[in-house]
Structure 1
Amino acid sequence: MSGLPDAFGLDRLRAAVLRAWEDSPTRLTEDTNAERDLRAGGYRDRLLVELAQNAADAAALAGRPGHLRVAVTGGELRVANTGAPLDEAGVAALASLRASAKPAGTVGRFGVGFAAVLAVTSEPRIVSSTGGVVFSEQRTKAEAGADDVPVLRLPWPPGVDEPPVPDGFDTEVRLPLTVPAGDVLAAITADVPDLLLALPRLARVDVDGRTWTRSEEKADAGGGVVMLSTPEGTARWLTHAEDGVVWALPVDDADAGTPVPRTEDVLHTPTPTDERLSLPARLFAPVPVEPSRRRVLTGEAARPVLAAAARIYPRLARRLESAHRSMAVPEARFPLSEVDAELRDLVIAELSEQDWLPAVAGGEVAGGRARVLPVDAPELVGLLADVVPGLAVACGPGAARLLETVGARAIGVAEVAEALTGIDRTPAWWHGLYDALLAAVERREIDPAELGGIPVPLADGRTVPGPRGALLPDPALAASGLDDIGGLDVVGLHLVHPEAAHPLLERLGADRAGPAELLASPALREAVQRSVEDAVSGVDVRPFVDAVLRLSGHGDAAELGALALPARSGWRRADELVLPGAPVLEVFDPEAVGEDGALDVLDETFAGFHDPAALTALGVLDSFALVTDDEPAEADHELPDEAAWWEAAAPARVYAVRDLDLVADDAWPAAIRLLAQRPETWRALTEPGGHTPWWLARFALLGGRAPMDWRMPAAHDLAGLFDPVPDVGLSPEQLAVVGVRGGLPDASTVDSDDVADLCDRLADPDRSVPLGLTLRVHRLVGEHRPVATGGHVDPPDRVRTLDGAVADAEDVVVLDGPWLLGAAAPSRFVACATAGTPGRRAGGTGGGSDAGIPDTGPVAALAEAFDLPLATDVIDADVSSEGEFAAWPELPAVVEVAELLGVALPEGGVVVHDHLTVAGADVSGNNVAVPWWCRPDPHGGPAGGAGPAETGVLHATDTSDGLARAFAWAAGLWLRRWEIAALLDDPDPRTLLG
């Protein structure tokens, strides 16, 4: 190297710099500060960038692809490159700090950017095939006589021991490292791929034995795919270059046509700046930058270049495969810089106005004129090519959101359905459309509700809007010989064309058109409803009637009772007809069957041509018909006297026999036997609370009277109130279900009409009613709750008293105190059977069982129902004899009885009389002897410390009968008073047990 002449004039360059420093003492400081600014500012972290640019420029000047090699040798970073060698202008530029020797078309030929090497060294050297140059901080300090000097101002020639340029290279930069070599190599390695993409003249870079290369495929005059081979693999970039601008979009390694959009990058000019961008592609553009080369000169200087770059961007998008072009659209987001905001707006505007987006119908469409289907269904998009103008190939929710950025409008499925209305397509085309739509529905990309108006081609050549109500032909139609049903003149019967029939239509509301579905179709039902009217007006309904009857054998014919059928007297509804010879005709009133009757008989000839099962399925009667409703809302089932039953029963469901009111008066036994023969009608007869047993009990006739007016022959406990039912040829079970009485009804279910009837029967003086039955009926009256069962019972004018006679209600009272029976005649009292006694208003506090406490509820209720006073409130009588009070423990016989019974003695005691008498206005005679008495305590407590206030003051004769009643009342053992009396007479366990 030392043998070469000083081709670069290094001595002259040093002398000139030193003179400048001597002439202007501040120049040294200025140069030092300028170099420090370059090192710490614009060229910080740009070591490889600057050296690679020099290598690319050298390759460009030499006219061949460049090769750059980076290695660390002996603590030095050595960067070698091919291309044009170092020349005098380059050396001058290296030593100037403010000037560059780069010619037009190069990006950095040994200019101020070389200051980037100072980040890793203070003694840089450059060796080229034409010579070399050395810079040294230490030698500069010595020459300048200063401690703070610029490194790149004084150039020296290399030493005699400087190695030559490596074989195969033209220039090598040698940098003794002041930082760890590993850190430098890592930073360089990270920058290599971007530099190869940015510097087209650079074809290969070697770093520490690892190689990166650049090549192009699918190239044309405007660009192509740049392939970057790296130690980790191969990266591809789709590029488009025009007017000095290059756009580069990453594409998939496996398929160069699939873009991998960037989400964040920086502007390259062509070297990277600090201007952050958020576009999918990388931009290389000659945008004016500040001297630091990190920031764009914003304003008018940069705008034309950015506008040109935006104008070219759609042409990059057109290089993508049709299916991927939408990925070139910038995602909606906040700009990353001021340049990014301006460039994004320009790019989006161009994508909105230029044709670049592939259209389904062919060609390309601008974003602003495009329509996008927000469903990921390419096959559906293909079918809509000539249906929706401007429809883009790109589809799916992501594409719709993305293309909305450039003005594209998403077209909803409902809008597609509207666009399809009125178009003429083959049934097979429609079937393909349904295929595509169903696939999207199953992927949950389409809401089936949006397809309600999708057109449906029919077998008759028409197209109807929407599948709801349409019928899909089923193979069962042909199998049943009903494949010609579609030819019937049935208004509104929409049968889908067989070639267009599809599961989607069924999912959207179409019905399978098998026999059962045809029977259930609204159109057929409507035709059935108007069939009688049509027949009467002269329309030939016979073909339709025959078809419905054929269908009824293959499906549910329920609710087709309105079908017109020929009767003896003309056309009638099927459910108004009876089969000829049906047993039910024998029990119907003749006036109810005929032209003017509620029913008529089916024409015998017509009946002979059809299966009786098919006819009865339509509602033609061969026996009694049923009415069923599991959720009734009101009394609207046309049952006889239904409103009265509804009020009494408040039914939760209706299961009843129809047409009972048509039975002849003398045919009821036969009608009941007929009802009992069929399980369905027998079930109605036995329905708890049902209409049928309720109505039969009141309106059927057995022996000229309603069933509820009779009693069963074995119901002897009702003798006197009801007569036994005559023999009408019905079994006891049949008699029972139609309402013939087997005993008194339960108070919780009896209705007010029945209660009123019982009261009327008791008030009939011609009836001999046992007293026990009278007491039980009165208890039933008291327990009856008209609010629960409906209706109200008016108080009777006459009632049956305790002596069995019938008296005016105004002359009697309701017995509520049993002691009163000894002071007044039985004809004065009305009483009822109770669990204890009709008299006591509150139980005692003794140790007796609750079962012995008199049940006073029915007594008070009976008084209220009969509107009568209670006896204790009316009868004015009191004790008129003298007695002596004795506490219960003071009565040995009572104590012994309590012990035998195992009960505690009640509190208080009893006033014992030798002869107990009472007197008063309501007592016949001045003094009446009674066995016991209860006198209410006006002071709220017992006299002489007797029993509780609720019991009152008890009086008794000194007899076992009197003491037993008083003790039983006080102890709450009223039902055991006869047992207590026997024990008082004979206090022996054998009396209790025997």
Structure 2
Amino acid sequence: MSRDPFGTEALRDSVLAAWRGSPTRFREDANAEEDLRLGGYRDRLLVELAQNAADAAGATPGTLRLSIVDGELRAANTGNPLTAEGVAALASLRASAKSADTVGQFGVGFAAVLAVTDAPRVVSTSGGVLFSAARTRQAVPELAEARGGDVPVLRLVWPTDEADLPPGFDTEVRLPLKVDGSRLLAEFADQVPDLLLALPGLQKVEVGDQTWQRTEEDGVVVLHGPAGEQRWRLHRVGGELPAHLVQGVEARPHWTACWAWPMDEPLDGDVLHAPTPTDEKMSLPARLIASLPVEPSRRRVLVGPAAQYVLDQAARAYPDLVLALPAIDRTSLVPLPGFPLSEVDGNLRESVLSALREASWLPLASGEWTAPKTAKVLDAPSEPLVELLEDVVPGLLDAELTLPEHAKALAALGVPRMSVAEVVEALAGIGGDPGWWHEVYDALTPLADVDSTAREEMGSLPVPLADGRLVSSPRGVYVLPADVSFDVSGLRIVHPEAAHPLLLRLGALEAGPGELLDSDALREAVKHSLDDPAMDGPDLVKTVLSLVARAGGRPWLGELALPDDHGEWRRADELALPDSPLLSVLEADAPIGVLDPDLAAEWPREVWTGVGVIDGFTVVDDTSPTEPDHDLADEGYWWDGAEEPPTRVLGIRDLDLVARDKWPEALRLMAADPVAWRAVTEPDGYTGWWLARYATLEGRPLGAWRLPDAEGLDGLYDVVPNVDVPPHVLAAAGVRTALTVLDEDDVTDLLARLGDPSRKPADALVLKVHAALAEVADSVSVEPPDRVRVLTGEAVPADDVVVLDLPWLLGVLPGDQVLAAEGHAEALAELLALPLASEEVTGEIETAGDEVVWAELGAVRLACDLLGVELPTSPVIVHDELHVVFEGESHEVSWWVEDGVPHAADTPEGLARALAWATGRWADRHTFAALIADPTPTVLLG
């Protein structure tokens, strides 16, 4: 007979009495056990076996061995052996014999064995017990039959004499299996690592021939298993539940919570552990293992004040777990946004985020720590920029946290990201030595390289200047080359130690010598250089000259104040170089001084001319003139005299300062200077215009002379004196080479020369001059001359002179009363304010003639045939002698036209002129006369 050290008989009698006395109680027990077997504990066999092993281990972590022996699952553990209280708990669905600091809270966990067996046994060094569905049915056959043989297995317990425990173990649960044992062990092997982590009371678990072992040091648990090692960082907290929360759980006033973070790979699909796995799905990066109240099924947290208190305390402890990690890993523990996986998950995640926002655990750029609520992070990965800003931006996080992998975590914590615009704003007004600013620009450059928006935001970046100022934008500041030193008051030049290529991309100007010369500040300094030259003059002069030596001159530099040879300060363009040849041709009182000789010797000639100092004739060149504002002598007269506004002004200045007796030398200077010579030879240019009118030789303008080989102008213009100036230079300067009439001045001059009785121009030249004058008559307005040159070659008073407009009128007019411009009579008459001859002559034919057709005149017909001219169809009246009465006197003429009908004396000359007029070939009248006199090919061809 088996001994009964645990009093199982009394336990059976009590249960049987209750069942027999109340069949309902039997059904309740059977239903409760069925619920646990089919519901709450159906897949928690290893969890419950491991919990019992951990509880039994006590203060020394124990070992759990799981093996299949003779078709049985055997779970052997070390630690405290089985006790009578423990047996009573096993046989009860509503009581627990575990102490307050063990894992289980309800005495129902052993029901998990029913998932694989209906005859569990527990063998211990203190004795053994067994449960059996078959023996229970034998004990209450009537009740069992009423339920179809389905009875509660774990209510009736019997003693067993089994004592063959595995060496080194104190208790073994033996479960005859109704399932595949090898498959069951395989399922257990998957659960072991999590259970070893959750149950510190277990140090080692063996499943078949596989072993897992737990070690812990400095808060890191290492799980050693067949697949290798798993490392977990742990942080534990605990305490006593407040008095107002322990009603109903007075036996468990102590609470614990442990955060576990997997150091090797992130959690995926995790659940809350209380302390063993529940069905509460979790999304946190760390696992919570806590002594939480759970439902009898141990699958759900028992919601209430006690559970909430433990969860709140766990959340407050979360930042301590974070602090235990290296700074680079801490953000991996921040819960990221997402839908909560369970009510507990959502609650705990918000509490954890709140605790993280308040705690100081984020590394600052300065090396200290800060809380997310006071932190800022640079919105671009840049370690150099973060280091530079650590003393500028309070709460700026370490550069490591600017990397993309930290962005979501920091966003979840509400850490604001600093855009480039905010960085620039933070830098406004900040001091710092120029070298520090150079490092800032260097750190910002990679951002500007890849982000156009960032470049725009950098437009307000402060820039330290060489004069100590700090300006609020790179736009308009100047960056000097490394080898240039320059300082002009008001000119915004970047401090050389701060100069950086980024500034040029942001609107700064690359200040080469040319850019500096063209700067507004330098222009302003030059403009006001005469205000107080004794103070700033020497430095400004040195600066400007050094720039001009590199970049060439500018027209406006003529305002630069320079000292003259008397020590007085004058504009540069009012001074000449001491050895300038121009000085020898100027009037003695010309307002041009001489540059200080000592200063002049310090710089090359081209530098002085670059700032406007006079060396030779100064040439103005404006390719887009709008008005005569170039400070050229008499420029307005030239401008107004042009038919169209000039499109270019290329002129020599200060021509009016040349001494009257120095023009030969002045002309030679112009010819020797390519720039000045180009101005002299500019077609229709100002310089040639001025020289011809105002430059003089022997007191007369150059335009009043002709070159010796311009013989066609003889009698009208005098030959230019021999002044040792080449003819081409004299011609370019306005000395006449041919007859030209360009403007009113030329017209007035020619009229005066024609009216001068002392001049004896050839008749042909007179006719050419009258024709040229007639061509420009419509474009000029001049005073009519008092004397005119008539056909006799004389210069006579204009009172009785007419302009010939009809050629036959010459037959009755004396030559000393007529002048002519063939084809331009009306224009010439208007220019000279003279009447036309046709307006003054009214002659009348007094001799009779015969009207004939031109074809009846044989000589005329033959002449037209030889010339290929068609004979007129109109008649002609032929006279033996043709007489016309004019002013009471009879005049014999060779031809006449009256009422449109030609009359001709019967002579070759008369007929030829009438024929030429009738055919419109007036220029051929002399040819017609010769052929009519002898209509032969010999005359035509000879």
Offset at residue 200 of structure 1 (A): 1.6
Separation in structure 2 between the aligned mates of residue 285 and residue 634 of structure 1, nearest angstrom: 92
Separation in structure 2 between the aligned mates of residue 661 and residue 136 of structure 1, nearest angstrom: 137
Change (3 A) 1:157 1:109: farther
Separation in structure 2 between the aligned mates of residue 52 and residue 709 of structure 1, nearest angstrom: 132
Contact 1:95 1:154 in 2 (8 A): yes
Instruction: Give deviations 1:903-934, integer Å, cap 9, x for gaps.
Output: xxxxxxxxxxx999899xxxx99999xxxxxx
Indicate the residue corresponding to 2:259 in structure 1.
248
Q: Could you tell me which amino acid in structure 2 is paired with residue 194 of structure 1?
A: D
Contact 1:576 1:600 in 2 (8 A): yes
Offset at residue 202 of structure 1 (A): 1.9
Separation in structure 2 between the aligned mates of residue 18 and residue 103 of structure 1, nearest angstrom: 28
Separation in structure 1 between the aligned mates of residue 516 and residue 616 of structure 2, nearest angstrom: 28
Indicate the residue corresponding to 1:612 in structure 2.
605
Offset at residue 72 of structure 1 (A): 5.2
Change (3 A) 1:808 1:420: closer
Contact 2:552 2:607 in 1 (8 A): no
Separation in structure 1 between the aligned mates of residue 617 and residue 212 of structure 2, nearest angstrom: 98
More deviation in 453-462 or 617-626? 453-462
Instruction: Give deviations 1:678-703, integer Å, cap 9, x for gaps.
Output: 666788899xxx9x866567666389
Indicate the residue corresponding to 1:781 in structure 2.
none
Among candidates 55, 61, 65, match of residue 65 of structure 1: 61
Among candidates 398, 402, 412, match of residue 396 of structure 1: 402
Instruction: Give deviations 1:486-544, integer Å, cap 9, x for gaps.
Output: 6xx8455657375x776767776777888777656665554333212332xx5351243
Q: Does 1:476 align with 2:480?
A: no
Indicate the residue corresponding to 1:788 in structure 2.
none
Indicate the residue corresponding to 1:217 in structure 2.
217
Offset at residue 671 of structure 1 (A): 8.1
Offset at residue 326 of structure 1 (A): 4.8
TM-score with structure 2 setting the length: 0.62
Offset at residue 615 of structure 1 (A): 1.4
Q: Could you tell me which amino acid in structure 2 is paired with residue 343 of structure 1?
A: L
Q: Does 1:112 align with 2:108?
A: yes
Indicate the residue corresponding to 1:563 in structure 2.
560
Indicate the residue corresponding to 2:549 in structure 1.
553
Among candidates 289, 296, 299, match of residue 294 of structure 2: 289
Q: Could you tell me which amino acid in structure 2 is paired with residue 282 of structure 1?
A: R
Contact 1:668 1:700 in 2 (8 A): no
Contact 2:462 2:472 in 1 (8 A): yes
Indicate the residue corresponding to 2:195 in structure 1.
195
Q: Could you tell me which amino acid in structure 1 is paired with residue 223 of structure 2?
A: L
Contact 1:712 1:732 in 2 (8 A): no
Among candidates 99, 111, 135, match of residue 103 of structure 1: 99
| 3-state SS in 1 of match to 2:196 | helix
Among candidates 203, 207, 229, match of residue 234 of structure 1: 229
Offset at residue 84 of structure 1 (A): 2.8
Separation in structure 2 between the aligned mates of residue 808 and residue 16 of structure 1, nearest angstrom: 158
Change (3 A) 1:360 1:926: closer
Contact 1:249 1:282 in 2 (8 A): yes
| 3-state SS in 2 of match to 1:103 | coil
| 3-state SS in 2 of match to 1:531 | coil
| 3-state SS in 2 of match to 1:178 | coil
Larger radius of gyration: 2
Separation in structure 2 between the aligned mates of residue 742 and residue 89 of structure 1, nearest angstrom: 146
Separation in structure 1 between the aligned mates of residue 134 and residue 585 of structure 2, nearest angstrom: 134
Among candidates 2, 5, 30, match of residue 3 of structure 2: 5
Q: Could you tell me which amino acid in structure 2 is paired with residue 57 of structure 1?
A: D
Please, which runs of 5 or more residues in structure 1 have no aligned partner? 219-223, 254-259, 745-752, 778-797, 810-826, 828-913, 929-994
Q: Could you tell me which amino acid in structure 2 is paired with residue 496 of structure 1?
A: H
Instruction: Give deviations 1:857-892, integer Å, cap 9, x for gaps.
Output: xxxxxxxxxxxxxxxxxxxxxxxxxxxxxxxxxxxx
Change (3 A) 1:122 1:540: closer
Among candidates 49, 54, 57, match of residue 52 of structure 2: 54
Indicate the residue corresponding to 1:435 in structure 2.
439
Change (3 A) 1:203 1:656: farther
| 3-state SS in 1 of match to 2:313 | helix
| 3-state SS in 2 of match to 1:55 | helix
Indicate the residue corresponding to 2:823 in structure 1.
805
Q: Could you tell me which amino acid in structure 2 is paired with residue 225 of structure 1?
A: V
Separation in structure 2 between the aligned mates of residue 251 and residue 712 of structure 1, nearest angstrom: 111
Change (3 A) 1:123 1:164: farther
Indicate the residue corresponding to 1:339 in structure 2.
344
Offset at residue 241 of structure 1 (A): 1.5
Among candidates 73, 77, 80, match of residue 81 of structure 1: 77
Offset at residue 354 of structure 1 (A): 4.2
Separation in structure 2 between the aligned mates of residue 647 and residue 149 of structure 1, nearest angstrom: 129
Q: Does 1:131 align with 2:128?
A: yes
Indicate the residue corresponding to 2:335 in structure 1.
330
Contact 2:476 2:507 in 1 (8 A): yes
| 3-state SS in 1 of match to 2:483 | helix
Change (3 A) 1:74 1:436: farther
| 3-state SS in 1 of match to 2:530 | helix
Q: Could you tell me which amino acid in structure 2 is paired with residue 612 of structure 1?
A: R
Q: Could you tell me which amino acid in structure 1 is paired with residue 194 of structure 2?
A: D
CA RMSD in angstroms comes to: 6.2
Offset at residue 338 of structure 1 (A): 3.0
Aligned pairs for 1:502-581 within 5 A: 523-535=521-533, 539=535, 541-554=537-550, 558=554, 560-567=557-564, 570-575=568-573, 577-581=575-579
Separation in structure 2 between the aligned mates of residue 926 and residue 683 of structure 1, nearest angstrom: 57
Q: Does 1:316 align with 2:314?
A: no
Aligned pairs for 1:717-866 within 5 A: 805-806=823-824
Offset at residue 104 of structure 1 (A): 1.3
Instruction: Give deviations 1:86-106, integer Å, cap 9, x for gaps.
Output: 444444444444444432112
Offset at residue 612 of structure 1 (A): 1.2
| 3-state SS in 2 of match to 1:284 | strand
Separation in structure 2 between the aligned mates of residue 326 and residue 21 of structure 1, nearest angstrom: 60
| 3-state SS in 2 of match to 1:275 | strand
Offset at residue 564 of structure 1 (A): 1.7
Offset at residue 111 of structure 1 (A): 3.7
Change (3 A) 1:33 1:502: same
Instruction: Give deviations 1:792-826, integer Å, cap 9, x for gaps.
Output: xxxxxx999999623769xxxxxxxxxxxxxxxxx
Change (3 A) 1:539 1:169: same
Contact 1:127 1:133 in 2 (8 A): yes
Aligned pairs for 1:639-658 within 5 A: none
Separation in structure 2 between the aligned mates of residue 265 and residue 555 of structure 1, nearest angstrom: 75
| 3-state SS in 2 of match to 1:41 | helix
Q: Does 1:701 align with 2:702?
A: no
Separation in structure 2 between the aligned mates of residue 135 and residue 711 of structure 1, nearest angstrom: 151
Indicate the residue corresponding to 1:205 in structure 2.
205
Indicate the residue corresponding to 2:309 in structure 1.
304
Instruction: Give deviations 1:438-466, integer Å, cap 9, x for gaps.
Output: 23532559946656666666777776766
Indicate the residue corresponding to 2:794 in structure 1.
none
Contact 2:73 2:181 in 1 (8 A): no
Separation in structure 1 between the aligned mates of residue 765 and residue 214 of structure 2, nearest angstrom: 129
Instruction: Give deviations 1:131-172, integer Å, cap 9, x for gaps.
Output: 253545898599523446256436676999997446556324
Indicate the residue corresponding to 1:903 in structure 2.
none
Offset at residue 396 of structure 1 (A): 2.2
Offset at residue 662 of structure 1 (A): 6.3
Offset at residue 611 of structure 1 (A): 2.0
Indicate the residue corresponding to 2:171 in structure 1.
170
Q: Could you tell me which amino acid in structure 1 is paired with residue 483 of structure 2?
A: A
Q: Would you say how many aligned residue pairs link Structure 1 and Structure 2?
A: 751
| 3-state SS in 1 of match to 2:233 | strand
Contact 1:266 1:276 in 2 (8 A): yes
Separation in structure 2 between the aligned mates of residue 74 and residue 711 of structure 1, nearest angstrom: 145
Separation in structure 2 between the aligned mates of residue 368 and residue 350 of structure 1, nearest angstrom: 11
Offset at residue 562 of structure 1 (A): 3.7
Q: Percent identity?
A: 41
Instruction: Give deviations 1:522-581, integer Å, cap 9, x for gaps.
Output: 65554333212332xx53512431343245434555464442223469534335544344
More deviation in 305-314 or 36-45? 36-45
